[in-house]
Amino acid sequence: MSRHVNIVVSGRVQGVYFRAFTRRKAKQLDLVGHATNLADGRVEIIAIGDDEAIAQFIIWCRKGPITARVDHIDVNELPANETLHSFEIK
């Protein structure tokens, strides 16, 4: 079953290649979606994949890459309404 989530990551997550590392991890887990810098310094992620892969991805997002400092993440389930074929940086 496919799971669609919106993850918003707060902390030192811009200017530290957070989105690039996020894309790499998403591809390792066969997820599709995108990561976008927000104007307020947070990063928003849309991720779509199987339940286990999404669960592992959320655990990774709570820590992030060594270059980042994650202070908080918000995770919200989304309706299955997007058809994506890769994981992109926006």
Provide the domain count of the chain.
1
CA–CA distance from 14 to each of 8, 11, 30, 52 (Å)? 12, 8, 24, 27
Catalytic status, residue 19: yes
Q: What is the DSSP string of 20-45?
A: HHHHHHHHHTT-EEEEEE-TTS-EEE
37 is catalytic: yes
The string of pLDDT tens digits covering residues 27-71 is 999 999 999 999 999 999 999 999 999 999 999 999 999 999 999
Catalytic hit among 3, 19, 23, 42: 19
Q: How confident is the model at residue 79 (pLDDT cuts 50, 70, 90)?
A: confident
16: domain CATH number is 3.30.70.100
- Does residue 90 lie in a domain region? no
- Distance between CA atoms of residues 22 and 88, nearest Å: 10
Which of 37, 42, 62, 69 is flagged as catalytic?
37
Domain that holds residue 24: 2-83
Q: What is the mean pLDDT of the chain?
A: 94
- In sign, the C-alpha dihedral spanning 30, 54, 40, 66 is negative
pLDDT tens digits, one per residue of 53-62: 999 999 999 9
